[in-house]
A and B are shown apart, each in its own frame.
Chain A
Amino acid sequence: MERKVVFPQKLLPYLLLAPQIAITLVFFFWPAGQAIWMSTLLQDPFGFSVQFVGLENFQAVLQDPAYLSTMQRTFLFSFGVTALSMIPALLLAVMADRVVRGATAYKTILVVPYAIAPAVAGALWLFLFQPSIGTIAYPLRLIGIDWNPRIDGTDAMIVVLIASAWKQIGYNFLFFLAGLQSIPKSLIEAAAIDGAREIRRFWTIVFPLLSPTTFFLLIVNLTYAFFDTFGVIHAVTQGGPGKSTEVLIYKAWYDGLIAQDLGRSSAQAVILMFIVIGLTVIQFRYIERKVHY
């Protein structure tokens, strides 16, 4: 039985919630509403006339081969970032879980990248891969790998992938570590006595028991890669060379604010909104029900 907390006053709960509701309304609902409204409008380049066009913007966007290839690229990029940030994070967490001395210092250092602003993280990796003097690019060139994110689309993509993933490792690391530490030690010991060696123990006991954490992080990282990597991409490649590192969020920004096509940009924003709603629904549904043991 759930016990209900009953406030004697009717007004108080609303007052307590008011600041949060106000923020949500002003910064989330209002812009979202505006985006939806604008996605149904067609503006002339000089802003003199506005015409209601219904779903035509969506139709145009979804039939645009450039948009579809950006979407494909975005999915590749997002899953790439997710894998590249989660796998090393899990590895580090497993290592850190075994450290006894100096564990706190170790953890702190590993979490630091999360506190770095996206643009700064991007700039950092931009320097490292800077073709002529970059700390990584230079030795690579010496051994014959001509790494140039300025002109090669794939090279550029790898740089933004690494930069975006690197920033997220600390966050994933923390969650994985907490997940690992919540697994009862006696289970690991029981498995050891049951004849499972370290690697087998990991795959048959530890990893399955971590699955709620893993699934949670999967969704969080996908969301991050979809929406929060704008800063990194903007700092490192501006979506280029060509359009080779342009992801959906970058294209929406570019089409609206640089190309000044507000209607189509808004339509893209609305599509992104549905993607994030979809991810959130999956997260709530499945984390609550499916991924349990």
Chain B
Amino acid sequence: MAEVSLSRVRKVYPGGVEAVKDIDIAIPDGALCVLVGPSGCGKSTLLRMIAGLETITEGDCRIGAGRVNDLDPSDRDIAMVFQNYALYPHMTVYDNMAYGLRNRGTPKDEIEARVQEAARILEISPFLDRKPRALSGGQRQRVAMGRAIVRKPQVFLFDEPLSNLDAKLRIQMRVEIKKLQRALGVTSVYVTHDQLEAMTLADILVVMSKGHVEQQGSPLDLYEKPASTFVASFIGAPPMNLIPVGAGENGPQAPGLTGGRGLAVPAGGATLGVRPEHMIVATGPVPDDALGITFPVSAVEAVGAETFVYGPIGGTGQEIIARLPGKALLAPGTPVSVAAAAEHLHLFATDTGKRLGP
């Protein structure tokens, strides 16, 4: 068990490409930190730097008390689950799991006990004598997990471990990984590009973009107070509606928009954000501080429990999405008025995309 901390970590590849820029992350003991971002944002590079598979150009990486920058991966006491599982194809499941223990000179009976225990937890005991090629994707995934947990390392590293599984299995394994991580209490770093996976797994969520951290914190903090338009549109599905607004006398001004009094829009305009799920159909007059939007419905997606309503707002052609509970009986072509309460409105600077106000 150990905390993991990265301070002012940078990665510059020969040729000058800066893959990771000045990153500070502190993960307390036993926490699960998820690095999320679009492909190419540097999240896998960062993970591989913690693992020791990539060198750290600048800054410190600490596991527990010690600085590990110059340690070989084998000396960092970590275990990693790879996207393609990286199981040793010529070894049985048992040997795959025992390999790391044998390398460290663990006594034979202890290896036996630990492998059996891990196999029991992961329900792969019947396959211990098989070679990886005789296993299904989900079973291979479990073996990869098993190989990580038998070692009882200080840190687990997960590199998009679920992306090769089908949707149903992915959800199931996601839950299991979370439970397992909780039960073992091992500090973990988990890389994914799936925001839902990130939200559900993370104790600490780190959203990355273009090599730097956009925002980090608890998943709900990020959901409720996104620090930038990037985070706002990355966290949550469907993404937050971002509407360019001008500064009016009493708040934001844009065609089709009413209310929003109290929002301090700077003179040059700003970006107004409101999540699809925070909109309700307005039946009466909208309070002054709430936001009212009227738009013609262009498409309706009813999925049973909820309904997604799409439409362009006032002449700009920008489409917004409202996520309405239940079966909203709306026909395409008819106008609809929706409203969002004041506490659900976000304001971002137009140029930098940074959050304005609280």
Contact = CB atoms under 8 A, between A and B. Distances in A.
Task: Decide if A and B are genuine partners.
Answer: yes
Interface of A: 184, 186-187, 189-197, 200, 204-205, 208-209, 211, 293
Contacts of B89: 187, 209, 293
A194 B131 CA distance: 18
B53 A189 contact: yes
A193 B147 CA distance: 11
Interface of B: 51-53, 72-74, 76, 78-80, 82-84, 86-90, 99-100, 103-104, 131, 147, 151
B74 A194 contact: yes
A282 B264 CA distance: 82
Interface-centre pick from A194, A204, A208 (highest chain B CB count, 10 A): A194
B74 A196 contact: yes
Given A186-B82, A204-B99, A293-B131, A193 B90 contact: no
Contacts of B72: 192, 197
A69 B110 CA distance: 55
Given A192-B53, A208-B90, A293-B131, 6 more contacts: A184-B86, A189-B73, A190-B86, A193-B53, A195-B104, A293-B90
Given A184-B86, A209-B89, A196 B78 contact: no
Interface-centre pick from A190, A204, A211 (highest chain B CB count, 10 A): A190
A205 B101 CA distance: 15
20 contacts: A184-B86, A186-B82, A189-B82, A190-B80, A190-B86, A190-B87, A191-B88, A191-B99, A192-B53, A192-B72, A192-B74, A193-B53, A193-B76, A193-B79, A194-B99, A195-B103, A195-B104, A196-B103, A200-B103, A204-B99
Interface of A is mostly: helix
A195 B82 contact: no
Nearest to B75: A195
A95 B144 CA distance: 30
Given A192-B73, A194-B147, A197-B74, A187 B79 contact: no
Contacts of A197: 72, 74
B106 to A, nearest CB: 10
Nearest to B51: A193
Contact of A193 (B78, B83, B84, B87): B78
B83 to A, nearest CB: 8
B53 A196 contact: no
A192 B147 CA distance: 13
8 tightest A-B contacts by CB? A293-B90, A194-B100, A195-B103, A186-B86, A190-B86, A195-B74, A192-B73, A208-B90
A64 B79 CA distance: 65
A99 to B, nearest CB: 15
A189 B80 CA distance: 9
A187 B51 CA distance: 14
Interface-centre pick from A189, A200, A209 (highest chain B CB count, 10 A): A189
A67 B126 CA distance: 57
A200 B52 CA distance: 18
A130 to B, nearest CB: 47
Contacts of B99: 191, 194, 196, 204
Interface-centre pick from B52, B72, B78, B89 (highest chain A CB count, 10 A): B89
Contacts of A204: 99
Contacts of A205: 88
Nearest to B90: A293
